[in-house]
Every structure is written in structure tokens, then in C-alpha cells.
Amino acid sequence: MPGWLEIDPRHPLPIYAQLERGIRAAIGTGRLPRGAQLPTVRQLAVDLRINANTVARVYLELERSGVLETRRGIGTFVAGAQPAAGSKRERDIELRALVRRALDEAAALGFSADDVSRQLRQLSPTDRTTD
């Protein structure tokens, strides 16, 4: 299994969502730098013990959003330039959706919004950039 990615089949979050978040997080934290080659669909599926169609679906979605790029005959890579940030309104909408997903996931695990808020306040600035 790649050291930059973990999938938990017992987690309430679907496998494809865990995979997408894991890849995005690895890119965001620099564990997968721009230009890095990802494992093939088949290899990642074998390493993670998940269906290859799930990996292919996530790779395609990340490619459509500009996070990954596929070079025919060579492989899939972290895109050299990440998509433009967008307007403040677009970023607010994206952040709101991210927070909603985090709260939904926390609720599925039995945590309240207050629990999440308390943890966010307790994070140090270095924790915020490495987790």
C-alpha cells in the first residue's frame, strides 16, 4: 500500500470518497508533489485491495477537475498547475461544502458540531498544514 494513502473499508465514508480525499490530501500536503506519477489503476487497486473500477472512477474525476493529468502510454500524474482558485464566492461555496462533508462524517462517527469546532480551535498552526 502506498505510504501516502490509507483506505478503511469499515469507515462509513464510501471507498471512492476516501480515495479521492486521500489523493487530494496527499497533493495538498506535498506528499504527492506536482508532476509526481501515481500508480496505475490496476496497481493501486491491488495495493489497496479495492476494485479497479473505483480507482479508475476517482482518477477520471480528479482529471476532469484538473488535479490529475493522464499522459497516454505513460501514466497518470499530479497536474503541473492546479486549477485557478476561483472567485471568493466560489471558494466560499467550496469551503461550505467541505465543512458540511466533515460535519456529516463526524456525525456518522457520533461526534457533534461542537466537538468538531472544539478540535479545530485546539489545532496549532503547524497541525493545520500537515494533517
Q: Which domains are assigned to the chain?
A: 15-78 (1.10.10.10), 88-130 (no CATH)
Q: What is the pLDDT along the chain (131 residues), one digit of tens a residue?
A: 678 898 999 998 899 999 999 999 898 888 999 999 999 999 999 999 999 999 999 999 999 988 999 999 999 999 986 555 567 777 777 778 778 878 888 888 899 999 989 988 887 555 554 44
Q: What is the pLDDT of residue 109?
A: 84
pLDDT, position 20? 94
The answer to whether 75 and 69 are in contact (CB under 8 A) is no
In the chain, the N- to C-terminal Cα span, in Å, equals: 19
Phi-psi region of 110 (alpha: psi -120 to 50; beta: other; left: phi over 0): left
Nearest CA among 36, 127, 128, 125 for reference residue 79: 36
- Rounded to whole angstroms, the Cα distance separating 32 from 28 reads 8
Positive or negative: CA dihedral 29, 83, 120, 105: negative
